[in-house]
Structure 1
Amino acid sequence: MPAPAVHPDPRLLRAFVAVAEELHFTRAAARLYIAQQALSRDVRRLERELGAELFLRTTRQVSLTPDGERLLPLARRVLAAQDDLLAAFAAGQARPLLVDVNTAGLGTGGRVLHRARRLAPDCELMARYESGLTGAAAELLAGRLDASFGRFAGLDPALRAGLEQQPVRYEPMAVVLPEDHPLASSAEVPVSALAGETVYAGAGNPGTREWTDLARRLFEPRGVRPAPPAPVAVGREESGRVLVKTGNPVLAVVDFPALPGTVRRPLVDPVPLSPVSLVWRKGLTHPGLTALRRAAAGIARAEGWLRRPAGGWLPDADEEVMSTRA
């Protein structure tokens, strides 16, 4: 006798994917804006419908079973197809494309978005500000964002598995200093001059783990101390106030927007590079995404964004990602 047909509710699949990517029920519930008990019920219901255990749960950790690992790519494809179907019939036109550009202003992501809007004036491309690719990646996979920018090699492999990327820029890094800092009078700052300093690079911010990891790789061999976790400051004024109050330099990029009471200085000897990719959910098709990819490629060609500066510093894993041409 054939097995009964199974037609899982997409809501249950979204619950499963969130837990599979977070490997933590509390974080997954927060990501979906539902109670943890409701999330647990949804996962149990999906397991009953499929007749398979999807997670191994202990008091210390959650991990995928072989059946869970087999389901994950299939569930992502089903959810992506559902998103595409809804987008195709939303008010007879493509829905807005939600694009995370990290921070306000015309940094790398903002410039690409600005040009994409000119290339596709009939598309609505709406900016969002997630402040880090790790945080944005979870939103991309959940369908609450469509595209973002950042260091793809710094993402957890479980996140990368559901995403695609296009290299955009080797962006030189900089340091933001209080105006009265001893290094503020220099036109540029050698990385070695930061030895013994305590430099903030997003430690403790769960949305910027890829950036904190990049800073660790740069600083550890050079005697630079990472600043401890701090409450995340939101907004230009508040960020500037906190920086001046703590007195700690902040690792940034050359296009980082100016903050009150601070100066931005490029880092040299070597020039550390922030590898920026355009990142989107696998299977996503949208005219706005096409425009973003064209805009990124066009600016990169015109301004040499993908020509790596001689002697520029970059971890090997990032070099491999950035050598991929989409």
Structure 2
Amino acid sequence: MELRQLRYFVAVAEELHFSRAAGRLSLAQSALSSQIRQLERELGGPLLVRSTRRVELTPAGESLLHDAREILAATDDALHRTRALARGEAGRLTIGSLGPPPGELLAPLLTRLGSQHPDVRVEIRAFDFTDTVDGLLDRHADLAFVYLPLHHPDLVVTPIASERRVVVLPRSHRLARRKRLAPRDLRGEVFITQPPEVPQEWRDFWLLVDENDGHRPPISPHIGDKLEDWLQLIARGEGVDTAPAIISRYYAWPELSYIPLHDAAPATLALARRRDAEHPLTEEVTALTLDIAAQAGLRASLPIEA
């Protein structure tokens, strides 16, 4: 038995007229009659009683009509869901984030995705420092908000917006009352850096290596794998570090001070995805995020103030 035979039978059973059913199916009446006879042979008995004036269902035909409608409805529903998933119109989309994504980006993005793809469930997954690359490559997320620099041959990285960095200090630090700091003010300070699994280029950016002519500062033996652990180390006085300014808005701990950093490259937020991304919405989400950033007046780079 084939699905098309069930569709042919349902059309005849609902119309109780071969000619009308053939027209509904855009099929020759002789071909339709042949298919119904073949179906009856496969089932071992008549489904319809035919006469020159009318067509009626047999008890077997009435039973099959009920079941055939359910089978075809389930099949159509399965095809609809599968096609929606293939087009990215249903299912789950996981977005990773290293640190809190800006609300002026995330909230509109979730709103627009919910409006355009109501059947897609969007999940935000917090990344640790080691997830910057591995979280995407291991398919723990379809896309991720990350901070540059980030270079990997298997990732597509799109800069979204930039903001000034801040210096994160314990409240008791001698520089904690300054209104602004420059890289030269931090020479000799011990820095809290990220785990060795994190690309050295990325760690060097936050350590201000370029701003200090390639010299790396003293590094604390303590390493924070998670964002909160890293902040706790700084709060305990184990060292200092630089961070995107957004950290100061989301983690206003009384033990910490956030001082604007000048004469240094800004922190650039990017959206990264795998080159072989399977989810069909990844490119659309990237385009939506860029559009939202433009409307919000965010830029992918900012001038460095003197």
Would you call these one fold, judging by a TM-score over 0.5? Answer: yes
Q: How does 1:189-228 map to 2 (within 5 A)?
A: 189-202=181-194, 204-207=195-198, 209-216=200-207, 217-218=209-210, 220-221=212-213, 225-228=217-220
- Tell me, yes or no, if structure 1 residue 305 matches structure 2 residue 299: yes
Q: Deviations over 1:14-36 (max 9, x none)?
A: xxxxxxxxxxxxxxxxxxxxxxx
Match of 2:97 among 72, 97, 101: 101
Q: In the alignment, which residue of structure 2 is the partner of 1:318?
A: none
Unaligned runs of 5+ in 1: 1-84, 313-326
Q: In the alignment, which residue of structure 1 is the partner of 2:245?
A: 254
Structure 1 distance, partners of 2:244, 2:283, is 25
Q: In the alignment, which residue of structure 1 is the partner of 2:224?
A: 232
In structure 2, the residue corresponding to 1:154 is in which secondary structure?
coil
- Matched to 1:163, the amino acid is L
Q: CA RMSD in A?
A: 3.2
Q: How does 1:1-326 map to 2 (within 5 A)?
A: 88=85, 94-103=90-99, 105=100, 107-108=101-102, 111-121=104-114, 122=118, 123-132=120-129, 135-151=131-147, 153-155=149-151, 160-202=152-194, 204-207=195-198, 209-216=200-207, 217-218=209-210, 220-221=212-213, 225-232=217-224, 234=226, 236=228, 238-256=229-247, 257-258=250-251, 259-268=253-262, 270-284=263-277, 285-287=279-281, 290-310=284-304
Identity in percent = 18
Deviation at 1:289, TM superposition (A): 5.2
- Matched to 2:170, the amino acid is P
- Matched to 1:124, the amino acid is R
| Cα pair distance change 1:113/1:208, threshold 3 Å | farther
Q: In the alignment, which residue of structure 1 is the partner of 2:23?
A: none
Deviation at 1:86, TM superposition (A): 11
Equivalences, count: 216
Contact 2:160 2:289 in 1 (8 A): no
Q: When the two structures are superposed, what TM-score results if normalisation uses the length of structure 1? A: 0.57
Q: Deviations over 1:168-207 (max 9, x none)?
A: 12232111111111111111112211112112232x3524
Structure 1 distance, partners of 2:89, 2:301, is 38
Structure 2 distance, partners of 1:94, 1:209, is 38
- Matched to 1:172, the amino acid is R
Deviation at 1:154, TM superposition (A): 3.2
Contact 1:199 1:224 in 2 (8 A): no
Please identify the structure whose Cα radius of gyration is greater.
Answer: 2
Deviation at 1:288, TM superposition (A): 6.3
| Cα pair distance change 1:250/1:86, threshold 3 Å | farther
Unaligned runs of 5+ in 2: 1-81
Structure 2 distance, partners of 1:120, 1:130, is 21
Contact 2:184 2:212 in 1 (8 A): no
- Matched to 1:182, the amino acid is R
